């Protein structure tokens, strides 16, 4: 178990460019989550997948954002036409199926830090 | 979405117990209380969760008020590695699996 892996760790890009981040969850974890965190704030939920199905999307996920998990394993988060306000840490997490009750803990990666020039 | 209220910051000395409070007066009967912590430059890390009864694990203890409107995360002996932001989160039992983080409590631990 190598934990949740996110690449790249840092991304610097110019406003208006497209960026794509990758998340590799813990193997055999069916659920995968994306969050965004700005300085001094807690993470904000963006979306999550059960296998390849995207089950919930936040209103924060504008039409410039798209997330995929094509084979139910790794996931990508793409931001098109980046804006200054997109500068943040993008966190990925994974967990086994929810199961009963309180839910399985979510295991987080260390994030991709996006800086928009 | 049910909200939680935590102090912005707390301080402790090393090897002393730490009690981190959380108020959640709008908790529903099926919400679970989860705690995560985030060390500098890392993603959040699960600490503990519970529904009604107090819970213990290797990292911490969770004490839940009888009316469930508040809870306390207890670190029995703080170490320097426990310095982090601690988040108290209400997790719905149905319909959604997202975590809703607040701004958390920044814990400083002094040697």
- The reply to whether residue A45 touches residue B91, judged by beta carbons under 8 angstroms, is no
What pLDDT was estimated at residue A55?
Answer: 92
Average pLDDT over residues B56-76: 96
Q: Calculate how close chain A gets to B16, using CA atoms only, in Å.
A: 26
Instruction: Output the average pLDDT for chain B.
Output: 93
Q: Calculate how close chain A gets to B10, using CA atoms only, in Å.
A: 16
Between residues B19 and A98, the one the model is more confident about: B19
Q: Is pLDDT above 60 for A1? A: no
Give first-to-last CA distance, chain A, whole Å.
36
DSSP B20-45: EEEE-TT--TTPEEEEEEE-TTS--E
- The reply to whether residue B46 touches residue A31, judged by beta carbons under 8 angstroms, is no
Closest CA to B30 of B95, B101, B103, B74: B95
Q: Are strands B9-13 and B105-110 parallel, antiparallel or unpaired?
A: parallel
Mutate to test the interface with B, among A60, A105, A110, A112 (most CBs of B within 10 A): A105
Token code pair at residue A77: 């988060």
Coil, helix or strand at residue B47: strand
pLDDT digits (tens, 9 = 90+) for B7-61: 999 999 999 999 999 999 999 888 899 999 999 999 999 999 999 999 999 999 9
- The reply to whether residue B93 touches residue A101, judged by beta carbons under 8 angstroms, is yes
Out of A56, A101, A111, the one facing B43 most closely (by C-beta) is A111
């Amino acid at each position: 178990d190598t934990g949740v892996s996110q690449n790249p760790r840092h991304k610097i890009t110019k406003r208006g460019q497209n960026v794509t981040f990758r998340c590799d969850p813990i193997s055999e974890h069916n659920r995968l989550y994306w969050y965004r965190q700005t300085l001094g704030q807690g993470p904000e939920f963006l979306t999550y997948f059960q296998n390849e199905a995207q089950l919930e999307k936040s209103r924060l996920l504008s039409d410039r954002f798209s997330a995929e998990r094509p084979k139910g394993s790794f996931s990508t988060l793409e931001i098109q036409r980046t804006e200054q306000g997109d500068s943040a840490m993008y966190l990925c997490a994974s967990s086994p199926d929810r199961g009963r009750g309180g839910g399985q803990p979510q295991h987080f990666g260390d994030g991709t830090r996006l800086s928009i020039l | 979405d049910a909200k939680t209220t935590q102090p912005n910051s707390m301080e402790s000395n090393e090897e002393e117990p730490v009690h981190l409070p959380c108020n959640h007066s709008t908790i529903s009967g099926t919400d679970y209380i989860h705690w995560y912590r985030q060390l500098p430059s890392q993603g959040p890390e699960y600490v503990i969760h519970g529904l009604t009864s107090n819970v213990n694990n290797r990292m911490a203890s969770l004490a839940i008020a009888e009316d469930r409107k508040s809870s306390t995360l207890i670190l029995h002996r703080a170490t320097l590695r426990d310095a982090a932001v601690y988040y108290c989160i209400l997790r719905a039992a149905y319909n959604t699996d997202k975590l809703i983080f607040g701004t958390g409590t920044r814990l400083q631990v002094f040697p």
